[in-house]
Structure 1
Amino acid sequence: MNGVTGRMGYHQHLVRSLLAIRAQGGLDLGDGRVLWPEPVLVGRRADALRAIAERHGLAHWSTDLNAVLAARGEDAVDVYFDAQATAARPDSLRRAIAAGKHVYTEKPTARGLADALELARLAEAAGVRHGVVQDKLFLPGLLKLKRLIDGGFFGEILSVRGEFGYWVFEGDWQDAQRPSWNYRAEDGGGITMDMFPHWEYVLHELFGRVTSVFAHTATHVPRRWDERGKPYPATADDAVYALFRLANGTVAQINSSWAVRVMRDELVEFQVDGVHGSAVAGLRRCRAQHRSATPRPVWNPDLPAAEAFRDQWQEVPDNGDFENGFKAQWELFLRHVALGGPYRWDLLAGARGVQLAELGLRSAARGRRFDVPELAL
């Protein structure tokens, strides 16, 4: 596990995924075997790795990735996982693939489409199993939304509107919630490259393939302060406003911003409007309104609104227990490694996300819409 000293790598992938799988007694493969994950922590900071290993009673950590990949016998690893900064990811993934390791990685898989496709092709040629984290598909809110879609609740889906973001402090008077490299284009930062890979798989899996993109980016906060309290110029975009067209004709518009204050129930929400009904899904909640229960609002700017519009929506029930989304996908990928079978959230799917981000940035730079070609290995 490379990158576990970072917030996401530590909390979601190590603690809430692999250590949670160990806490439940391992992963039952359903054939009488139990898979037991044994993490090997890898990174640049020995003190931080040692502290994490001691905190959780883990025996293995190293600052030498090549040595870990080259280990044989009982010390050999089967899977390489990457949660590093984007700029460092492709080289490490190439080394892991060359060493014959199955690979599982955060996104974006690379800073450009050429590198992302190369990784997918290398993994296929090497015959290793490969997966990309697509965690939002496993969130309770989107799982409920998927249930509505599969049940035909919407009829013809007309549009999708997404709002994502929150205020990331500049770092001078309050510490920033995100690392400073996120705001430096030269280090692979920017919200377009960070979030478009998410929007690609959410739209692709729930509504249809993205066929065109028109985007406008902005750097709303041009000066920030890094982890040492030193000011630096923000060279990457901290907001992107995008319009997507899908293969079935559905229109999607998604705003993403690290310079917006939240006036929503959750940090991300998607409103889906269809002929037969509408729904609003967030991280955990999903509310719906069927056409038979749709009120008849009347526009009258001379009178205050007499209706409580939020109260007119129905809560979609859980109808089951929801695992942590990262853990749920870890379990699917580990089963894929152990048992084989198809797995669609692979490095080619990751390359589609990089492609959409790259085209979104190109669209913003040139001020026009771009088609999104289908990818193949």
Structure 2
Amino acid sequence: MSTHSIGMIMNGVTGRMGTRQHLIRSIVAIREQGGVPLGNGDYIMPDPILVGRNQEKLKALAEKYAIDRWTTDLSEALSDDRNEIYFDSQTTSRREASIKQAIKANKHIYCEKPTATSLKGSLELARLAKEAGVKNGVVQDKLFLPGVMKLKRLLDANFFGDILSVRMEFGYWVFEGDWQEGQRPSWNYKSEEGGGIVADMFPHWRYVLDHLFGSIQSLSAVTATHIHERVDEDGKLYKATADDAAYATMELENGVIASINSSWAVRVDRDDLLTIQVDGTEGSAVAGLRGCKTQHRVNTPKPVWNPDLENSIDFQDQWAEVPDNQLFENAFKIQWEMFLKHVHQDDAFPWDFLEGAKGTQLADLGLQSSKERRWLDVPELNV
């Protein structure tokens, strides 16, 4: 049995997502379990170097999680042959330039989405990575959520029959920051800094729909900035220039209609922060982040519309939970292990920069559709 160490640059891990999901729940967890197990009994052990702009935060994270290396100098980390992988979870506006540096340094690259602030930038990154021959991947974590994996189990079993529609509801109330601290950083609400719920969430919806239900052929979207002023991390009032809600309808290649509401200005009255309802001729399902419930054709109640009488059916009680039947690990950790095996032994990893560009494309088209108030086709992308 051998352990293969892979040096990896982790840029932007002092942010909320970078710290919690990528550092603590993925890389630290992998190190604590003894590495990524391979089929031949060997292991891959990630050897991270933390990179960022805040020296004190980097030092504190490194000390807390027993990581030997950290630096505020990205160029220095990229010049070290010990580091084979570059990972980026910075704010979107900083990502493109840093990834270009990593490509020039001949590093394999894994990054958060969106890969760039525009489709042009995302496609350029895909082209540059392909020309350089470096392996590349984009985080598509929602495919590995327990609820979505249960939904995929139903799809593989043809539970739904012919799928008719998909309805996705996402969001929660993000506090404005005046009398209660907001749950998201202020740049999310500034279009000039790459913010907006369309830029943040449409890339997610692209890979969820593409990989589960079929490729998107066209869309119509309306965006809104419902909360016009917010208070930033320093207690200063600022104008929100980015969209905080989007309401979209998408038509898939197979005729399935997807209706997707995304909002940071909605109070939750549903099972989870994200719910995906799939309706088919033989049955329906509603998946959340962890759970998934079903209702088959033979178990469907027969309501009659009569507003003059009290409804006698407990609709919520008519659904059955899909059992776990397996141990579900952290969604980010699962994909990290897959990418590490992709780099080390060339295992398949279909979520590359071109897939990431598709997410940016959908976000751009969503904003364009809202601005022009019309349906738009979704062209096929190639590098």
TM range (shorter): over 0.9
1:27-46 equivalences in 2 (<5 Å): 27-46=36-55
Corresponding letter in the other structure for 1:42: V
Structure 1 stretches (4+) deviating beyond 4 angstroms?
Answer: none
Distance 2:93 2:258 in 1: 29
Specify which of 39, 43, 58 is matched with residue 49 of structure 1: 58
- Matched with 1:272 is 278
| CA shift for structure 1 position 141 | 0.4
Structure 1 residue ranges without an equivalent (≥5): none
Is 2:348 the partner of 1:339? no
Corresponding letter in the other structure for 2:50: L
Is 2:252 the partner of 1:243? no
| CA shift for structure 1 position 376 | 1.0
Query: Secondary structure at 1:217's aligned position in 2?
Result: strand
Corresponding letter in the other structure for 1:136: K
What fraction of aligned residue pairs are identical, expressed as a percent?
61
Distance 1:30 1:276 in 2: 39
Query: Secondary structure at 1:122's aligned position in 2?
Result: helix
Query: Secondary structure at 1:141's aligned position in 2?
Result: helix
Query: Secondary structure at 2:202's aligned position in 1?
Result: helix
1:133-282 equivalences in 2 (<5 Å): 133-282=139-288
Query: Secondary structure at 1:317's aligned position in 2?
Result: coil
Is 2:77 the partner of 1:68? yes
Structure 2 residue ranges without an equivalent (≥5): 1-9
Distance 1:341 1:295 in 2: 46
Distance 1:24 1:342 in 2: 23
Q: Is the 8 A contact 2:115 2:122 kept in 1?
A: yes
- Cα RMSD of the aligned pairs, angstroms, is 0.6
Query: Secondary structure at 1:68's aligned position in 2?
Result: helix
Distance 1:34 1:291 in 2: 47
Is 2:315 the partner of 1:305? no
Under a length normalisation based on structure 1, what TM-score does the superposition of the two structures give? Answer: 0.98
Is 2:84 the partner of 1:88? no
Q: Is the 8 A contact 2:338 2:347 kept in 1?
A: no
Distance 1:183 1:348 in 2: 27
State the Cα deviation string for residues 84-126 of structure 1 (Å, max 9, x = none). 0000000000100110000000001111001101101111111
Distance 1:240 1:219 in 2: 9
Specify which of 11, 15, 18 is matched with residue 24 of structure 2: 15
Is 2:99 the partner of 1:131? no
Distance 1:192 1:224 in 2: 18
Distance 1:322 1:262 in 2: 25
Q: Count how many residue pairs are aligned between Structure 1 and Structure 2.
A: 374
- Matched with 1:59 is 68
| CA shift for structure 1 position 28 | 1.2
| CA shift for structure 1 position 271 | 0.5
Distance 1:283 1:166 in 2: 14
| CA shift for structure 1 position 319 | 1.1
- Matched with 1:363 is 369
Is 2:133 the partner of 1:118? no
Query: Secondary structure at 1:159's aligned position in 2?
Result: strand
Distance 2:228 2:302 in 1: 45
| CA shift for structure 1 position 31 | 2.2
